[in-house]
Amino acid sequence: MKNDILPDEKSVNVLRAAYRAWCAAADLRSRRERYKRYTYGRQWDDLVTDGSGNTMTEGELARKSGKRPMTNNLIRQLVKSIVGRFRNNMADESLSDDVARLAECNSLAELDSRMLEEFLISGCAIQRVVRERRQHGDGVWVDNVNPTRFFVNAIEDPRSWDVELVGMTHDMNLAEVIMRFARNDRHRAEWLREVYADMSPIAPDSICESSTHNDFFRAGRGRCRVIEVWTLECREQLRCHDREDATMFVVSLEREEEIEKENERRRKSGRHQIETRWEVATKWHCRYVAPSGVLLDEYDSPFGHGSHPFVVKFHPLTDGEVHSFVEDVIDQQRYINRLIVLIDHIMSTSAKGVLLFPTDQKDDQYSWGEIARAWASCDGIIPYKPQSQQPGPQQVISKTTDIGAYDLLSLEMKLLEDVSGVSDALLGKNVSSATGSALYESQVKNATIALADIFETFNTFRAGRNVKALNC
């Protein structure tokens, strides 16, 4: 039985190719984590070096310098405004009956809103469209895919037409693995248990060595890692023309001998033979592989569209690079936080009501504590004997030093609006009561021009998803 769980060479090669594709996106995943931290309020976690060469977070360095790090999360408000505008536009959409049923069964309004939020944060929009039986019934199902689980070969086409290898990692419990891959065979179920009893992953080749090795091959505790890999493969086939019933059909090369036998029978009876032409075609092939390289299941694309089940949109994909909306406003957000902390620090360290009290004018019958309490009292009296011409006690209140921090903060706020393209009109701010509805709608429409590329790109993604779902 042990020999039955040995990986085959083809599956290992495919798995290594998938791992290379996953490692190639390590920088994208790292940047996504940073942008996600900023979007959800963890904006002081970037690593910096202090004057002594010690590495620490920006928040730790601020506290070490006597400052109190404060977060003023403007990025989150920008993202929520764009998602809210999208939901508002989506409510006015006119859908066909088929798309409306698809949207209702899959709660696409919620899925697409969360997908747009991911698209704004990371620049990645990925969904998986499959036809299968689930708890809610048999039908076409749409799922959002976490970019940390996804891998694809290096692509440069914004339409994702140059995808040749694509897939994702799944974490399943053993019962689900058996349900999906045992094929109602008790012996195969026992075989699957043996496969996952040995969780040793394959040894990655040299170009894959990285600290993220375990993230790809190992699932969480009590779960089984299954890796779904789709590859575009070339296949030899025969294109056949049967004159007797005027049909054209395609068969695999393995059926060539069967066609020849049929033609031999027809020759003997004087009938028209089946004409064949050899050709090479591309097919999408799916493999489910265990981390050890053991093949759990494989098949050609069963979908009506004949492709893989993933819908992918990266933005903007110039020279294959991904840059998100949030990436553009990170620096403005950082400087706004720094300036507010600086202003708070200046205000907290400036003199406020400090009392200068000459020691030679202090009466011995009063303690310093009694003098302080009397000074703080609204009707307090501090008697003392004046000596020479020295001035009496003086209270010192200094104004906060104007070093241009307020002007710089105002500039950064304005730059945040200009860089993001989310203006006051889109946020519903600074709207005068004298502004008519037509004028306001015109202002909003003009404000969305800067975001038109994001909305149109995402709508193209949704349209492609709907086409794939309706032909699944």
pLDDT in tens, 67-117: 899 999 999 999 999 999 899 888 888 899 999 999 999 999 999 999 999
As a dihedral over the C-alpha atoms of residue 183, residue 185, residue 190, residue 195, rounded to 10 degrees, the angle is -30
- The verdict on residue 93 lying in a domain is yes
Tens of pLDDT along 122-147?
Answer: 999 999 999 998 888 899 999 999 99
Residue 406 located in a structural domain? no
Phi, psi of 276 (to 5 degrees): -125, 150
Tell me if 102 is assigned to some domain.
yes
3-state secondary structure of 405: helix
What is the domain extent for residue 171? Answer: 2-224+286-322+455-470
Q: How far apart are CA 293 and CA 217, in angstroms?
A: 10
Residue 330: phi, psi to the nearest 5? Answer: -60, -45
What are 48's strand-pairing partners?
A: 56
167 assigned to some structural domain: yes
Tokens of 167: 């897939």
In a domain, 397, yes or no: no
Eight-state DSSP code of residue 401: P
User: CA–CA separation, 149 vs 28, rounded Å?
Assistant: 12
Residue with structure tokens 């190719």? 17
How many domains, the chain? 1
Q: Give residues with Cβ within 8 angstroms of 257, minimum separation 6.
A: none
φ/ψ of 281, rounded to 5, equals: -130, 160
Q: Is 336 part of a structural domain of the chain?
A: no
* First CA to last CA distance, the chain: 38
What is the predicted pLDDT for the residue at 464? 96
335 within a domain of the structure (yes/no): no
Asked if residue 384 belongs to a domain, the reply is no
HSE value, Cβ hemisphere, 13 Å, CA-based, for 406: 5
Helix 26-39 to helix 75-91 angle (10° resolution) is: 90
DSSP bridge partners of 138 = 133
All residues at 6 or more sequence positions from 14 whose CB lies less than 8 Å from its CB, including other chains = 229, 231, 287, 289
Please give the chain's pLDDT, 472 residues, in tens.
Answer: 444 667 788 999 999 999 999 999 999 999 999 999 999 999 999 999 988 899 999 999 999 988 899 999 999 999 999 999 899 888 888 899 999 999 999 999 999 999 999 999 999 999 999 999 888 889 999 999 999 999 999 999 999 999 999 999 999 999 999 999 999 999 999 999 999 987 778 877 655 555 555 689 989 888 999 999 999 999 999 999 999 999 999 998 989 999 999 999 999 999 999 999 999 999 999 999 999 999 999 999 999 999 999 999 999 999 999 999 999 999 999 999 998 888 888 777 766 667 777 777 777 788 888 888 877 776 677 776 666 666 666 665 656 555 677 777 788 888 887 777 777 666 666 655 556 667 667 767 777 787 889 999 999 999 999 999 999 9
